[in-house]
Chains A and B, each alone.
Chain A
Amino acid sequence: MTRSPRLWALAALLGACASPPAAPATSPLTPPPAPTLPPDPESFRITPPKAGAHPAVQFPTPSVKTLKNGVTLLVLRKNAPVATLSVVMREGAGALPAGKSGLAALTARMLTEGTQLRSSLALAEASESLGSTLEADAGRDASSIELSTLTRDVPRGLELLAEVVFKPAFREADFARVKDEWLDGLRAERQEPNRLASLAALRSLLGPSAGAPVSGSIPDVEKLTVADLKAFHQAHYVPANLALIAVGEVTLGDLESDVERLFGRATAGAQPKAPDVVLPEPPSKLKLLIVDRKDSVQSSLFAVQPFPKRSEPGFEAREILASLLGGLFTSRLNSNLREKHAYTYGVHGQALATRNWGAFYLATAVKSETTADSLRELLGELERARDPKLGAPINEPEANRARTDLMHSLGARLEHTSSLADSVATLFAQQLPSDYYTKYPALVGAVPTSEVTAQAARLTPQRMTVVIVGDRAQIEPALKQRGYELEAADPQLTE
């Protein structure tokens, strides 16, 4: 753990120069201060403590078993009173053809809305009497249903999950209700300026299919039918795509026979071929789209560009890069836009990396008057990170903070069964070796800063897609003055 030498020099300097603490209980008889200050009894604080030996913290490797029909069982033992059970299916929105956005997420949700044996209400009552609501989730590359329960209720939890996954009801009446609720959820999401910016930017960059939100576009979801859900379920919720993940006071041996009985009988089906993903050509120059939102006191900015997908080498180096640019509190962007200029409450950036595509983005909400300045600073920081000749090459201390943060964020996940279950789900969905996270700290620690610099060369601030959601009349003059031309975002981008 390297600390910035600059840092300690500064601390020492401040300590030496600052005035001593207020003298305790001054009396009128206290003599006037001597020309040389008395030694500061608190001066020991100037020297930062040294860390002790770093105890080995290791992410456990889950026990794995593949059932005969292809279902994977992944178990992590953890001393905890609550167990997390999760069924993960390794397809998500990335498996959807054009015009069917929202289908993966709605299918997962409908699995929790009743089975052939239980009504929607009876299912909710059953899971909540075990201690939690069945949580359906879908991403680009996976879908999941999760339940938290007391350890001794694990067998009942497994039964419930198997029933949900293999015997869903998909009742028309329930679907009609859930679809209306879902559509209102989409409408509610689109009230949020930050969300609007991300919706429009990803769709502009990746096209209407790959760029559609996982939760779906309003027109696509309006057209979905129970038949679509049944077909998606039948095609993708097949044994080879499924894993049962258990984290808690359980072992593979404890669960084996139950899981074999509940999950091992489903017949293996053929896995459908994933749709070909054709991404549009990225813009050849800065593309600046505006969603006009009158009287906004802030502008929401979402800047995005193509980046490598998950399987391309250099993933960990790109994680380090994204962290030092927009992940850490002291990231370049947050230090600039928040801590130096106070344009914003915060900036966040990330390298998205799915099975089919990747993208690097930065997102923030800035005071309206500072929109043009913020955009210039944002693009400027990317330019400086990209081109070491501009005087701010990626340096060792910031890369180290990013490495350290990535390693220890993983360590922090060890505390919580549900975070552990999420990590195990990633192993399965991305088909990573089961000891990937066990080796992750070494992997991240070994990425040389030169490799981070090489990944930074992929940044293309001059060809970014930027969506601004804000008050056009108020912000456009300053943007124009700086040479930024706005183009109205096509309403389809935010559908």
Chain B
Amino acid sequence: MVSRMRNARAALAVTLGMCAAIPVPVAHGKPAADASNTERAATVDTRATAIAFEKFKLPNGLTVILHSDRSLPLVAVNVWYHVGPANEPAHRSGFAHLFEHLMFEGSKYVGHEFDRILEAIGATNSNGTTSWDRTNYFETAPSENLETLLWLESDRMGFMIDTLTEERLDVQRDVVKNERRQSYENAPYGPSSLTMLNALFPEGHPYNGAVIGSMADLSAATLKDVTEFFRQYYAPSNATLCIAGDLDPARTKALIERYFGTLPDRKRPEAKALPYAPLPKAERLVVKEPVTLAQISYGYRTPPAFTADDPALDVTMAILGGGKATRLYQRLVVQTKLAADVSASLESNQLASIASLSATVASGKSSAAVERELDAVLAELQKNGPSAAELARAKRRILVGALSSLELLNGPGGDSGRSGLLQRFDQYTGDPGYLPTWLSQIERVQAKDVQRVIKQSLRADARVVVVTEPVPSPASTEQAK
């Protein structure tokens, strides 16, 4: 996920992996067999965790999801367009994200003061982000300003293209290029992560080119491309509007009708379809970077979001990493001291999810040894499965993380918090209320499921290994003199 703002805190959600992980009403809590822990595990919180919502469609095809919760005078508007890098034309990598930046440049009736208007009404968590399958735009504001938010979002949905100039395209193109420099080219392990993405999704795959895109493709984008992309993908029928928080449903529906009802209907574009396939082979790539610590990353294509094995992969990743009492941390950082840092994450997407394991090699240790240890941890977990206590801890961390996320009307990247979760579920399953189903799937994951998904999806013969090798940076040699 790449976002428009300078403080792209949203990126954090991605690195957390099971992050946007989703709540769990474990009413049917089975006693988990953690000996020290039984009584706790036996009675999991039964508080309603399902998010109450209403979903309907306007005649022009716009999907609307409403969630009313009047406990705080705040309201979040979160608009998802079902378009992302997967839909980019050939040689236009990065275009969906560049387009996202342009959506803040102004629109016909509102003018060019989008951000000033938002700041003046006390909007917070206002941003846009682009992920493989979707682009979202969102803001939270004091609820008396709901109408202003709808006025702003509807104007850019309908009339953004009317006011865009070549000059503003050039400015945002340069801003995005700076974003690429800052987040990838000039950032430690940034070049390695681009190498990983390009190997996971080579030329020809809809996800090819990374969300940020290439400099050459960004340079090539024209105003005509913007117009075509807008006409093709920014139709009401290709968008879902979610409003969550302090709202009166009847009044809100009238406002939606007023601001979105007259936007012209356009044909909903065909969804990208591509049967899921794991990587056809193993690949190993070495990237030299001016860093002091080597790094090893494994990347896998895993089954699409919310398909059968996705929950077991979520649990597997939580057993491997994300806490101190996890396999990778204990084995690589605590016991063998081979790594300074480890991570395990799962990013669930439409065409293929991405599972990643990575370890920063500790000073004076060899990356080959780290790689052997990573493989050994995976092999052991596959052979013997997790203990009952490990399984229970992983599920509990997912539960508490998810319940924390539910406190928010919207999360920092617009894909967590209540409106973000409603949108995520709707995008990937068609049911905004999929939460309890997903939660019970997580709860039902057993040791043998973990073993199975490692065997099927985290395979040594179908993965990308990226090794970041330090090259002495000229800066450090000079300073050492």
**A423-450 to B contact mask, C-beta < 8 Å, 1/0:** 0000000000000000000000000000
> Do B182 and A345 have beta carbons less than 8 Å apart?
yes
Q: Verify A131–B396 contact, CB threshold 8 A.
A: yes
Q: A365 with B186: in contact, given A128-B396, A184-B341, A345-B179 (CB under 8 Å)?
A: yes
Report chain B residues within 8 Å CB of A48.
110, 117, 148, 151
Contacts of B115 in A (CB 8 A): 329-330
- Min distance, Cβ A194 to any Cβ of chain B, angstroms: 8
Of residues 394 through 436 on chain A, the ones whose CB sits less than 8 Å from some CB of chain B are 397, 400-401, 404-405, 407-409, 411-412, 414-418
Flag if A24 contacts B264 (CB, 8 Å).
yes
Cα–Cα distance between A294 and B140 once the two chains are bound (Å): 42
Interface presence of B292 (CB below 8 A): yes
List CB contacts (< 8 Å) of A477-492 with chain B: 491
Does residue B377 face the partner (Cβ distance < 8 Å to A)?
Answer: no
Please, how many residues of chain A have a CB less than 8 angstroms from a CB on the other chain?
A: 107
Instruction: Tell me whether B479 and A491 are in contact (CB under 8 A).
Output: yes
Any B CB within 8 A of the CB of A149: yes
Quick check: is A32 within 8 A (CB to CB) of the other chain?
no
Those of B156-188 within 8 Å (CB) of chain A = 158-159, 162-163, 170-175, 177-179, 181-183, 185-188
Task: Pick the contact of A296: B186, B324, B340, B406 (CB < 8 A).
Answer: B186
Residues of A within 8 A of B273 (CB): none
A291 to B325, CA, bound (A): 39
Taking CB as reference atom, which chain B residue is nearest A402? B119
Q: Are A1 and B121 in contact (CB under 8 A)?
A: yes
Mask for B388-415, Cβ within 8 A of A = 1, else 0?
A: 0100110011011101101111000000
Residue with the greatest number of chain B CB neighbours at <10 A, chosen from A82, A120, A185, A418: A82
**Min CB distance, A399 to chain B, in Å?**
11
A57 interface residue (CB < 8 Å to B)? yes
0/1 interface trace, chain A 40-84, chain B, CB 8 Å (1 if under): 011111101111111111000000000000000000000111100
Q: How many A-B residue pairs have CB under 8 A?
A: 309
Are A405 and B360 CB-contacts (below 8 A) given A129-B396, A131-B396, A343-B178?
A: no
Q: Is B348 an interface position by the 8 A CB rule?
A: no
Are A57 and B73 neighbours in the complex by a CB distance under 8 Å?
A: yes
Tell me, in angstroms, the Cα distance from A185 to B360 when the chains sit together. 10
Q: Are A55 and B479 in contact (CB under 8 A)?
A: no
Question: In chain A, residues 374-411, which have Cβ atoms closer than 8 Å to a Cβ of chain B?
Answer: 397, 400-401, 404-405, 407-409, 411
Contact of A188 among B112, B183, B340 (CB under 8 A): B340
Interface string of A313-330 (1 = CB under 8 A from B): 000000000000000111
Contacts of A54 in B (CB 8 A): 73, 142, 144
* Binary interface encoding of chain A residues 341-363 relative to chain B, with 1 for a CB under 8 A from any of its CBs, else 0: 01111111000000000000000
* Cα of A208 to Cα of B275 in the assembled complex, Å: 59
Interfacial chain A residues near B124, Cβ < 8 Å: 405, 408-409, 411-412
Q: Do B188 and A125 have beta carbons less than 8 Å apart?
A: no
If A3-B120, A11-B109, A177-B337 touch, does A125 touch B5 (CB 8 Å cutoff)?
Answer: no
Contacts of A211 on B, CB cut-off 8 Å? none
A152 at the interface (CB under 8 A from B): yes
CA distance A153 to B42 in the complex (A): 12
Interface bits B285-315 vs A (CB < 8 Å: 1, else 0): 0000011110000000000000000000000
A55-B144, A129-B389 known; A338 vs B47 contact (CB < 8 Å): no
Which residues of A sit under 8 angstroms from B262, Cβ to Cβ? Answer: 41-42
B140 pairs with A412, CB closer than 8 A: yes
What is the CA–CA distance of A132 and B403 in the complex, to the nearest angstrom?
12
B45 sits at the interface (CB 8 A): yes
Q: Does A30 belong to the interface (CB within 8 Å)?
A: no
Smallest CB gap from B231: residue in A: A22
Instruction: Specify the chain A residue showing the minimal Cβ separation from B417.
Output: A415
Which residues of B sit under 8 angstroms from A411, Cβ to Cβ? Answer: 72, 74, 122, 124, 142
User: Is B49's beta carbon under 8 Å from chain A?
Assistant: yes
Q: Are A404 and B111 in contact (CB under 8 A)?
A: no
If A45-B109, A292-B478 touch, does A129 touch B117 (CB 8 Å cutoff)?
A: no
Residues of chain B contacted by A160 (CB below 8 angstroms): none
Which residues in A have their C-beta under 8 angstroms from that of B341?
Answer: 181, 184-185, 188
Q: Which of A130, A294, A298 contacts B182 (CB 8 A)?
A: A298
Q: Which of B392, B404, B474 has the most CB of A within 10 A?
A: B404
Task: State whether the Cβ of B37 lies closer than 8 Å to any Cβ in chain A.
Answer: yes
Residues in B whose Cβ lies below 8 Å from that of A14: 108-109, 111-112, 163
Check: A171 CB closer than 8 A to any chain B CB.
no
Once bound together, how far apart are the Cα atoms of A49 and B150, in whole Å?
A: 9
Q: Which of A55, A342, A397 contacts B73 (CB 8 A)?
A: A55
Q: Is the CB of B119 within 8 A of A328?
A: yes
CA distance A1 to B155 in the complex (A): 22
Which residue on chain B has the smallest CB distance to residue A364? B6
Residue on A nearest B178 in the bound complex, by CB? A345
**CB of B177, distance to nearest CB on chain A (Å):** 8
Complex CA–CA separation, A311 to B262 (angstroms): 55
Q: Which residues of B contact A133 (CB under 8 A)?
A: 323-324
Residues on A with C-beta less than 8 A from B154 are: 45
Assuming A11-B111, A296-B186, A408-B124, is B145 touching A51 (CB within 8 A)? yes
Closest beta carbon of chain B to A364's beta carbon, Å: 8
Q: CA–CA, A149 to B400, complex, Å?
A: 7
Taking CB atoms and an 8 Å cut-off, the chain B residues in 230-254 that contact chain A are 246
Q: Is the CB of A416 within 8 A of B407?
A: yes
- In the complex, A19 has a CB within 8 A of chain B: yes
Is A366 at the interface (CB under 8 A from chain B)? yes
Residue-wise, chain B 406-436 has the 8 Å CB interface mask toward A (1 for contact) of 1111000000000000000000000000000
Contact B334 A366 (CB under 8 A): no
Asked whether any CB of chain A lies closer than 8 Å to the CB of B143, the reply is yes
Q: A51-B145, A188-B360 are in contact. Are A298 and B74 (CB under 8 A)?
A: no
Question: Taking the complex as formed, is A121 at the interface, i.e. its CB lies under 8 A from any CB of chain B?
Answer: yes
Given that A3-B120, A150-B400, A366-B178 are known contacts, is A128 also in contact with B363, CB under 8 Å in the complex?
Answer: no
The answer to the question of B257 belonging to the interface, with a C-beta cut-off of 8 Å to chain A, is no
Bound CA span A152–B159, Å: 51
Given contacts A128-B323, A192-B187, A346-B6, contact A293 B120 (CB under 8 A): no
Does A297 contact B122, Cβ atoms closer than 8 Å?
Answer: no
Q: Is B34 an interface residue (CB 8 A)?
A: yes
Q: How far is the CA of A46 from the CA of B109 in the complex (A)?
A: 5
Most buried by B among A150, A345, A367: A345
On chain A, the residues within 8 Å of B162 by CB distance are 18-19, 21
Instruction: Tell me whether A124 is interfacial, beta carbon within 8 Å.
Output: yes
Judged by a CB distance under 8 angstroms, whether B90 is at the interface is: no
Smallest CB–CB gap between A59 and chain B, Å?
11
A346-B101 Cα distance, complex, nearest whole Å: 13
Cα distance, A401 to B151, chains bound together (Å): 19
Contact A294–B475 (Cβ < 8 Å): yes
Asked if residues A129 and B151 are in contact (CB atoms below 8 Å), the reply is no
Q: B22 within 8 Å of A by Cβ?
A: no
Task: Flag B326-367 by CB within 8 Å of A: 1 or 0 each.
Answer: 000010011001001100000000000000000010110000
CA distance A491 to B399 in the complex (A): 46
Residue among B171, B259, B393 making CB contact with A128, cutoff 8 Å = B393
CA distance A188 to B289 in the complex (A): 13
Question: Which one of B119, B323, B399, B403 lies within 8 Å of A329 (CB-CB)?
Answer: B119
Determine the chain A residues whose CB is within 8 A of the CB of B478 once the complex forms.
292
Q: How far does the Cβ of B338 sit from chain A's closest Cβ, in whole Å?
A: 11
Pairs of residues from A and B, 10 with the lowest C-beta to C-beta distance, nearest first: A346-B6, A131-B400, A408-B122, A184-B340, A342-B174, A45-B109, A294-B474, A55-B73, A49-B147, A124-B324
A–B complex contacts, Cβ < 8 Å, 25 sampled? A7-B117, A10-B112, A14-B109, A15-B108, A21-B159, A22-B264, A51-B145, A53-B144, A121-B330, A125-B393, A131-B399, A184-B340, A184-B360, A342-B175, A345-B6, A345-B175, A345-B182, A365-B182, A367-B181, A405-B119, A408-B123, A411-B124, A411-B142, A412-B74, A416-B404
Additional A-B contact list (11), CB under 8 Å, known A132-B400, A342-B175, A408-B124: A43-B109, A45-B154, A48-B110, A124-B324, A180-B340, A192-B187, A342-B173, A343-B178, A365-B178, A415-B408, A491-B480
